[in-house]
Structure 1
């Protein structure tokens, strides 16, 4: 087994290597932060769950919280790269190995599948595992997929998503760091969507694939009575609305919410089930760091809230409690589960907006929690994790977890 010392090497917010021990420790610490819940099934069986996008961000939090809080068993689907002779595996590769170990510690039968969640071959593979391993019954499906492109299995067309405003160009503040790690607040202008930009983004990030998953599994009679499904989403602050909620990604989120309403009606008739979107709060993720303005916004938000900022795993505890009936399912007027109220409180947004207006390269260090933000970015790749000796060699060729018989 190859071992080497791994140091962080990055281009902006993108790191070239990941640290296996750091990724494993993060998953362990997430699991430790989840208090055990009460049994949720009267027959004593653990609920069967499918988490699509299980290796990163809120999908990882959903998997960890589901294991530690609810005792789920089932399947996690993600798309990660294996270690090679030149590079480590992706952070999600190592996080998945650690999540499989967490499942074993909780006595949960979890199978992790690596591949394209948009393609029908993955759907066939999931259906086979559900049939052969879990009695042909799925209780919950959590959909948490963020991707730059998608190939439609039906048409063969490939769509590419874009981050653009709609109607007019948008100029916003954004936070970057130079090669020495010094912060720089600058204005960045993004040109508006044109041509098929909106249609393409909706095709990738909207509800089409989520609906295809439900249809695929329903046609094979794999949905249990009372089946529930939720797609994870985000609304965000008025400060980022032009590039996010009112932009091309926002159009995709609106499509996702419309899909939820349609699926909810369909599932209620089919299996007495339900579908909803879960609007989560801000977090530093590999996807969010690519959005102009989000780095500055989350840094300012953390400076306002401090330790009161709710981490993803804590939000997903609340989501699982609502999905399993441990707490009442609470929906807003649009039929969405809202886990972002702590972020969008008027007093919080007013304080962040005041700091946003004052933020410049010279002032940002006093207004934003830059140490927290840069630490969060490092931890996405397993670096800057307490308790890890980064001067020690570490094994990099960690195998993909194999399901026990």
Structure 2
């Protein structure tokens, strides 16, 4: 190490295996948030009272995109919750650095928005967050629930539930897109055994609506729900090509639980004229989706069909906010906000299915947009982001934003 560098300042390289990188690049994460911010148009006019939002899962994926869109376009104040690891032997997690960058946007805009690093499933997190909301805002207008966790410990009984990515009823074989250590892409066939009833139930306890419901109930008990309060849990259905492992698998069972939770919460919110929705988002490259067999390949093929017409998470999140703030949101026959109509249109799905059926190891790079997908995946960790000097040392040990700021 150069003698002028601190112990936590170093050149950060993208070491790891598969879709898991061991380090994140601070500058790359900052830059990726800046690139998201420039996709958001400035508001035509902000209301005298900024709406108050609670975003659970604000440090990654659609939760991050919704936070940035809400801050820039709608002038929200409130609280965002992420659960990230600080720097130690390794760098901090990417969400740690992305939160620092999002906090800088909030400060620049004069938004009173705080970020908490805490386990959203814990009762202590709920109590402390509601104390903060009550003290600073006196009520909440919107709650966006965007949590994709591998496990959940129920604070009521201490039981830890582990989610699984498995089909239901029968084994399922699919092809997955993977990358070697040299960055080369290849196809691998994966066979997944069906989930047991216990595994399915545990996945529902992790990824279903139980914790979302507890957040809304806790807000109601503290009388923090403003008139017209709206809450949305972010979801995904995906293509028939991936339904066996996704919509028709254990994750699908959890998504069905989200739907029933939304209906129950809407009844509960009638007293304040409120409503609970699920939002069916379109495909995106997120850390959660890269873990699901078949999805990386499908998304790469989808990008191969759509090219630059593939909407970003920010573009979709702007549409989500448009729906949340509309007098009459545009809902489907099941009462859901749909951000995925572009993806599931018949022409798009037919084109992707044709590529899926004709796919071979020899033509995968012709049919799927491999360079785009690899760059998107690495950008989740702050790598391959345009405008970043990756040969320069960077400070990795950076403090979480002060909650009083």
* Mapped partners of 2:70, 2:121: distance in 1: 23
The counterpart of 1:126, out of the listed 122, 126, 129, is 129
TM-aligned CA deviation for residue 133 of structure 1: 1.4
The counterpart of 1:66, out of the listed 59, 64, 70, is 70
Gaps of 5+ in 2: 1-5
Q: Corresponding residue for 1:23?
A: 29
* Mapped partners of 1:11, 1:288: distance in 2: 16
Q: Corresponding residue for 1:243?
A: 245
Q: Corresponding residue for 2:113?
A: 110
Q: Structure 1 residues 260, 240: CA separation in 2 closer, same or farther (over 3 Å shift)?
A: same
TM-aligned CA deviation for residue 14 of structure 1: 0.4
Do the aligned residues in 2 keep the contact of 1:186 with 1:360 (CA within 8 Å)? no
* Mapped partners of 1:29, 1:218: distance in 2: 37
In the alignment, structure 1 residue 37 sits paired with structure 2 residue 43: yes
Q: Corresponding residue for 2:3?
A: none
TM-aligned CA deviation for residue 155 of structure 1: 2.1
Provide, for residues 307-363 of structure 1, a one-character-per-residue CA deviation record: whole Å limited to 9, x for no partner: 1001111001011111112x7411101110000000001000010011111112111
* Mapped partners of 2:20, 2:271: distance in 1: 44
**Aligned residue runs from structure 1 range 64-103, under 5 A:** 64-84=68-88, 86-103=89-106
Do the aligned residues in 2 keep the contact of 1:234 with 1:281 (CA within 8 Å)? yes
TM-aligned CA deviation for residue 38 of structure 1: 3.8
**Aligned residue runs from structure 1 range 346-385, under 5 A:** 346-385=346-385
TM-aligned CA deviation for residue 193 of structure 1: 0.8
TM-aligned CA deviation for residue 403 of structure 1: 3.2
* Mapped partners of 1:401, 1:199: distance in 2: 37
Q: Corresponding residue for 1:296?
A: 297
TM-aligned CA deviation for residue 40 of structure 1: 6.1
Do the aligned residues in 2 keep the contact of 1:55 with 1:78 (CA within 8 Å)? yes
Do the aligned residues in 1 keep the contact of 2:116 with 2:403 (CA within 8 Å)? no
TM-aligned CA deviation for residue 39 of structure 1: 4.1
Do the aligned residues in 2 keep the contact of 1:38 with 1:70 (CA within 8 Å)? no
Q: Corresponding residue for 1:279?
A: 280
TM-score (norm: length of structure 1): 0.97
Q: Corresponding residue for 1:391?
A: 391
Q: Structure 1 residues 212, 404: CA separation in 2 closer, same or farther (over 3 Å shift)?
A: closer
Do the aligned residues in 1 keep the contact of 2:230 with 2:274 (CA within 8 Å)? yes
**Aligned residue runs from structure 1 range 195-214, under 5 A:** 195-214=197-216
* Mapped partners of 1:320, 1:37: distance in 2: 12
Provide, for residues 28-68 of structure 1, a one-character-per-residue CA deviation record: whole Å limited to 9, x for no partner: 11111100234464xx1100000000000000001001001
Q: Corresponding residue for 1:161?
A: 163
Do the aligned residues in 2 keep the contact of 1:184 with 1:360 (CA within 8 Å)? no
Aligned-partner SS, 2:32: helix
Comparing 181-190 and 97-106, the one that deviates more: 181-190
* Mapped partners of 1:179, 1:130: distance in 2: 46
Aligned-partner SS, 2:353: helix
Q: Corresponding residue for 2:218?
A: 216
* Mapped partners of 1:105, 1:40: distance in 2: 15
TM-score (norm: length of structure 2): 0.97
Do the aligned residues in 2 keep the contact of 1:81 with 1:93 (CA within 8 Å)? yes
TM-aligned CA deviation for residue 304 of structure 1: 0.3
TM-aligned CA deviation for residue 23 of structure 1: 0.3
* Mapped partners of 1:318, 1:296: distance in 2: 26
Q: Corresponding residue for 1:335?
A: 335
Aligned-partner SS, 1:349: helix
Aligned-partner SS, 2:81: strand
Aligned-partner SS, 1:386: coil
Provide, for residues 169-210 of structure 1, a one-character-per-residue CA deviation record: whole Å limited to 9, x for no partner: 001111111222222112210000114011100000000000
Comparing 170-179 and 226-235, the one that deviates more: 170-179
After the TM superposition, which parts of structure 1 deviate over 6 Å for at least 4 consecutive aligned residues?
A: none
Q: RMSD of the TM alignment (CA)? A: 1.1
* Mapped partners of 2:396, 2:189: distance in 1: 39
Total equivalences in the alignment: 399
TM-aligned CA deviation for residue 154 of structure 1: 1.8
